[in-house]
Amino acid sequence: MPRSKRRFGWLDALVLAVIFGLTGYLIYRVQIHFHYRWDWRLIPGYFMRYDAERGHWALNLLGQGVLMTLRLAVWSGLLAGLIGGLVGLCRISSSVFLRLLGRSYVELIRNMPPLVFIFIFYFFISGQLLSALAIENRIANAAPETLRVLAILFGPPELWLNFLSGALCLALFEGAYVAEIVRAGIQAVPIAQWEGAAALGLHPQQTLNHVILPQALRTVVPPLAGQFISLIKDSSLVSLISIQEMTFSGNELAVSSGRVFEVWLTVAALYFLLCSGLSRLFRRLERRLDRHGRQPH
């Protein structure tokens, strides 16, 4: 297809007319019909505020929400990688038992709406499982220094139970998708590699560890990066079971301050910056990895 660039055609005129028309209509409705008074001045204060009593800056709701989202992403990402790796191996195992187990887990989760999974998890699992862990007792007995280190990793101690159930829920959910990526990555390695390794007298376990997995790793990394970004997006769902991350803070602020438009636009912009920044970073890393991979060893 010959593509003439930087020329102003009829399509450009049409698209611009539609865009300007829509924007103009929206602005007209907001200002004239809706009488909305924009006020962005409060927004920075929702990230950080000056604590007059203690005399230093402290994170406000939205700032805490951002941190919680990041913590959730990191910890549930790691956990989902672990679960997904194990289940992915189950899916290609020679044992029918393990295959059935992996298959049921993956199909069950992938065919259920995330919301329904999260509610079921919240009602059935989180209450019983987490009370068995007795975290609250352990927090009470822990030394202050360890608590401080743990607070950096997992957030404020009074929210640990909350955080743990959110992270576990997300990890169980995303694990199913990671499992499929891992399975596809392993199955993408040509069958001749298995046969070749077997001909060399390698045990199936050795074949997997030394021949198959190193090759599968390269195909698996790009989709895993994409799945990590999906995880950040899906983490907004756990706000519905009162995990206090970014969307939850947004909801609280929109209700309490009444600045609905500004707060939601800010939250959306934060997610956008986080996700598009990460996807750009991953793409750059991938390209570098590709270049190194192609060089002769």
Partner 1 sequence: MRLSADLKRRQAGARWRAAFDTLAFSLLLLGLGWLLVAGADALHYNWQWYRVPQYLYRLEEGGFRAGPLLQGLGVTLELSALSLLLALIFGLTAALLQRSSSWAGHAVARVYVEIVRNTPMLVQLYLVYFILAPILGMDRFAAAVLALALFEGAYAAEIFRAGIEAVPQGQWEAAEALGLSRLAVYRHVILPQAVRVVLPPLTGLGVSLIKHSALVSVIAVADLTTEGRNLIAETFMTFELWFTVAALYLALTTSLSLLVGWLERRLAVGGAGRH
- Give which of 86, 119, 118, 123 is closest to 105, Cα–Cα: 86
Examine residue 234 and tell whether it contacts partner 1 (CB under 8 A).
yes
Are 186 and 216 in contact by the 8 Å Cβ rule? The answer is yes
What's the closest the beta carbon of residue 163 comes to partner 1, in angstroms?
19
Binding of residue 16 to partner 1 (CB under 8 A): yes
Q: Which stretch binds partner 1 (CB under 8 A): 5-13, 46-54, 77-85, 215-223?
A: 5-13
Q: Which of 51, 203, 276, 285 binds partner 1 (CB under 8 A)?
A: 276
Spatial distance between the Cα atoms of 275 and 229, rounded to a whole number of angstroms = 6
Binding mask 134-173 for partner 1 (x = CB under 8 A): ----------------------------------------
Q: Interacting stretch for partner 1, rule CB under 8 A, among 84-92, 210-218, 270-278, 285-293? A: 270-278
Residues with Cβ within 8 Å of 196's Cβ and at least 6 positions away in sequence, in order, are 211
**Binding range to partner 1, per CB under 8 A, among 149-157, 179-187, 197-205, 230-238:** 230-238
101 binding partner 1? (CB under 8 A) = yes
Phi and psi angles of residue 260, each rounded to the nearest 5 degrees, phi first: -60, -50
**Is 59 strand, coil or helix?**
strand
Size of the site for partner 1 (CB under 8 A): 61
CB-nearer residue toward partner 1: 134 or 140 = 134
Three-class SS state of 38: coil
At 144, the amino acid letter reads P
Distance of CA 172 to the CA centre of its chain: 12
Q: Which stretch binds partner 1 (CB under 8 A): 13-21, 60-68, 80-88, 138-146?
A: 13-21
Instruction: Collapse the DSSP code of 49 into the 3-class scheme (helix H, G, I; strand E, B; otherwise coil) and give the result.
Output: strand
H/E run at residue 197: helix 191-199
Q: Is 56 helix (H, G, I), strand (E, B) or coil?
A: strand
245 binds partner 1 per the rule CB under 8 A: no
Please tell me whether residue 42 binds partner 1 under the rule CB under 8 A.
no
Q: Compute the residue count for the chain.
A: 297
Residue of 29, 148, 210, 288 that binds partner 1 (CB under 8 A): 29
Query: Which of 48, 58, 108, 188 is in the footprint of partner 1 by CB under 8 A?
Result: 108
Asked if 163 contacts 153 with a C-beta cutoff of 8 angstroms, the reply is: no
What CA–CA distances, in Å, run from 61 to 46, 70, 112, 282?
A: 6, 14, 32, 29
Residues binding partner 1 (CB under 8 A): 1, 3-7, 9, 11-12, 15-16, 19, 26, 29-30, 33-34, 95-98, 100-101, 107-108, 111-117, 119-120, 123-124, 128, 229, 232-237, 239-240, 247, 250-251, 254, 260-261, 264-265, 267-268, 271-272, 275-276, 279
